[in-house]
Each structure stands twice: as structure tokens, then as C-alpha cells.
A and B are shown apart, each in its own frame.
Chain A
């Protein structure tokens, strides 16, 4: 094949319509939903570490769940929430739900609704066991104030959350009667997609008030949170959908969204890597397309 022809082919490849790439990514994401296979999910140390930290909690321990995210981050964080709530219900851990993001507590209710049998009410049923609101779990709702809410919770939960999301005074909730500050919760499971979120929980609840913290984060946020894990400020991290899938495997959630989505995630990554490699080969073999060269003259 003549060099000129080669250059022409690669240059045409460089100038490929971007919609072809969108279509390829779309097919890579959609097709796996109809394939009866699932990839093997390897458990990473940071996910295992968080799971082990939860396993150390005896029945009756109180887990604080800050739901610091909103619906756009649900594909990544909701599977983590579902798996974490499942674990708590299976192992009789008490859940104190709250949010520094307005939609967070609603996401918690959605996650709870997807785990239990029936609807979320005063009494919920899971695996034949019943759990009562105010005794086994509470939802304190959203509180404005960002990291200052965490700071205030360090001295008094009731001052930061005088009422739960239903308007019931916190003092009237059995579960909250013994909870004054972070000394009275056994674990903080931060589910976060940005600010305020895991970083603020580590800095204030963790480093200042010595709470044990584990985190589930969006993949965008995960690289910013990893240094805290390395330094021992976090017990573990669930990073993005992959972290969610690993956690689902450990908890034993059957057919969880994180696990189901892993094949789509794998295929889409493969197609992106393929385009990156082909694009680079085309760039170096075929040279820069005239369209790009022209921009230098402007």
C-alpha cells in the first residue's frame, strides 16, 4: 500500500464524524443489558476494608448515614446506599439518616423502599423481621449549614437537628435519646458526591471528633478522597459504580444495579480505550488533519 493512501486512510479516520463515536459508545452501553453474562468482580482492599469495619460492629450499633448527594449521582451512589441499608437491616444495626444536601434524605427513603417489603412507614418489614421508625432507624432530614452542621453535631446532635424530617422533636425518638454527639454513634457511612461531603466529614467528624468514617463516593470525587484512606483517616472507600458493585458482592445483594451495570461499564471503557488508541495511531501515522492545522494560522 502506498504511503499516500495510508496517510489518506488515517486522515479520514481522524476526521471521522463524532456521532459515529457517540453511536459506538451508545451500543457499548446498551447491548450488555441484553446479554446474559456478567464480569467477575474483583474486590479491592479499600472496599474490603470498609466492609470489614462494618463487620466489626455488633448488633445494635448506631450507624450515621449522611446522604450528601442528589438524583444526578444516583446511578453511582444509590446502589451503595441500597447495599449499606441491606447490610444494616440484616445485621440489626441502627440507622441514623441525615443529609447536608436537600435531596439526600429523599434518596435514603428511595433506597430503603427498594430494600424492604412494602412501603416505607412507621413499621417496615425485611426478610420477615420488622423494624420500627424511631427505634431501629430515624431520618433526621436535611439541615442547611454545610460543614457547620457537622461542627455543631460534634457538641449536640439535637442542636443541629431539633426535629426529624417528619417534624417530630428529636428528643421524642427512642433511638436518638442516647445520642448526644459523635461519641454516641459507632460508625459514620458518608455517601457523597461533592461539597459538602466526605472531605468535610473526615476533617470535622473524623479528625476533630474522632468518629470512625467509611465513604461511598462518585468516581469524580474518589481521587480526592483516596489520600484520606491512605492516611488512615477513612476506614475504606467505595469509588464510583465499581466500588458499588464490589460492595454489593460483599454484602450479598442479588442483582444489584452496580453489578448489573458492570458489563456496560466494561464495554464502554473498552470502546473508549479503542478510540484513544486508534486516534493516537492516526495522529502519529497520518499527521494532523488540515482542519486542525488551519487553526494554527488563526
Chain B
């Protein structure tokens, strides 16, 4: 057997630590710590503990969502309604939805997979129709309206430099960003220059978005470290 001594020592220490933890803080906190450390162990290198924790996570998630979908959708919305509601248009609507849902599953049988295109077409059509107005109103008109603003802003009769520069940047960034996505004219000369500035605005936007993503990931790490130090090891209050 090719098991190194340090690995055995780490294993024994971990087992003792978790046994003490179970005894002192209960099963839930101990399991939480075990799975947290198991997932973190991947940072050193791939190992059986990580694989185990990952598999448990995937399995529990799949089980959880299956139960959730069954009880919240199939049972609560379809089966219960068909069983309790009196026959009428609503009952027929639910039955049709159920039939469409069943037709979706036909994708699993390659020979009759084409049947699933019918409910898919209904979903795509209905969603597009429902969201067209909403997106036009919230994401197009309201955003456009907000881009149309004064270049010079006066607060109490005095030029507000902060707002003024902000508005100029928004207006300039919007125009150059749109120019970049205008492909009917070759990006040359002044038009090409504007498109290049547009790329810079886009890159800065992506950079800011990425910065936020890093902050978010760090927050998750801080959350886990806090759990280990506060709830498990009780080193900090």
C-alpha cells in the first residue's frame, strides 16, 4: 500500500477533531465543517475526500430539487387541481398543460422526439409575447429615457461638476458603445475611432462586473471561514 505517513497522521488528527466536534457541537455543525474542509481540500489537489463531498453535494441537490419540483409543481399545481377542481375551462387548461408537460418528455425517446417541439413552441411563443412589452418598457424605453439628460447640471444655480461629468460620460459611453455594435459601416476613420472608444467603455464595464464577481466569491469564502471559526471551532464570537 502506498499511503504516506503524513497522510495517515492528518487523517487520524482529523478523525479525532471531528469526533470531538460531534460530541461537543452536534452532528449538523460537524457535518458542515467536514464538507466545507472536504471541498476546500481540492485547493491542495484532487483527493478522495473532495470527490466524496462533491458527490454528496450533487446527489443531495438533485434529490432536493426533484422533491421540490414534484411537491410544488406536479402535485400542488397539477394533480391536486385536477383532483379537486370541477370540470370547466380551468380544469381543461390544467389538463392541457399536463399533456404539454408529458409531451416534453418525448425528447427522451429519439424516434418520437419531434413531439416535444410542440410544447416547446408554445413556451417560446408565449414567453416572447409576454416579455416583449415588459422588456420594451423596462429595459429599452426607461433606459433610453435615462440617457437623455442635460449635459450641464446646475444645483442651486451653481454648476454641479460631479453630475455634469457623470452625464457626459454616460452620453458619450452610450453613443460610442452603440457605434461599436453598428456593423453596416466599416470601422474606419472617425467612425472607427468612436468604435474603439466604445470598446474601452465596454471593457471597463466588464472589468467592473468582474471586480464585483471577485468580491462576491470572496464573500462566500469569508462566510465559510466565519462558519469554521465561529460555529465550529468557536475561536471568535
Contact = CB atoms under 8 A, between A and B. Distances in A.
Interface in A7-28: 19, 22, 25-26
A40 to B, nearest CB: 18
Given A30-B229, A75-B226, A207 B134 contact: yes
A142 interface: yes
A257 B222 CA distance: 10
Secondary structure call for the A interface: helix
A239 B222 CA distance: 16
Nearest to A263: B222
B209 interface: yes
A242 B73 contact: no
Nearest to B216: A219
A227 B77 contact: no
* Size class of the B contact interface (CB-based, 8 Å): 35 or more
Nearest to A268: B218
A231 B145 contact: yes
A221 to B, nearest CB: 8
A50 interface: no
B85 interface: no
Interface string A85-110: 00000000000000000100000000
B17 to A, nearest CB: 17
Interface in A263-287: 264-265, 268-269, 272
Interface in B128-183: 134-135, 137-139, 142-143, 145-146, 170
A102 B68 contact: yes
Contacts of B112: none
Contacts of B213: 219-220
B89 interface: no
B222 A29 contact: yes
B97 interface: no
B72 A102 contact: yes
A222 B212 contact: yes
B45 to A, nearest CB: 8
A169 to B, nearest CB: 15
Given A22-B43, A33-B236, A34-B236, A268 B212 contact: no
Interface string A205-233: 01110000000001110110001101111
Contacts of A22: 43
Interface string A32-44: 0110000000000
B135 A265 contact: no
26 contacts: A19-B44, A26-B225, A29-B222, A29-B225, A34-B235, A72-B220, A75-B224, A75-B226, A102-B72, A142-B72, A203-B135, A203-B139, A207-B134, A208-B137, A218-B219, A223-B205, A227-B143, A231-B146, A239-B212, A240-B215, A242-B215, A261-B219, A264-B218, A264-B222, A264-B225, A269-B215
Interface of A: 19, 22, 25-26, 29-30, 33-34, 72, 74-76, 102, 142, 144, 202-204, 206-208, 218-220, 222-223, 227-228, 230-233, 239-242, 257, 260-261, 264-265, 268-269, 272
Interface of B: 43-44, 68, 72-73, 76-77, 134-135, 137-139, 142-143, 145-146, 170, 205, 208-209, 212-216, 218-226, 229, 235-236
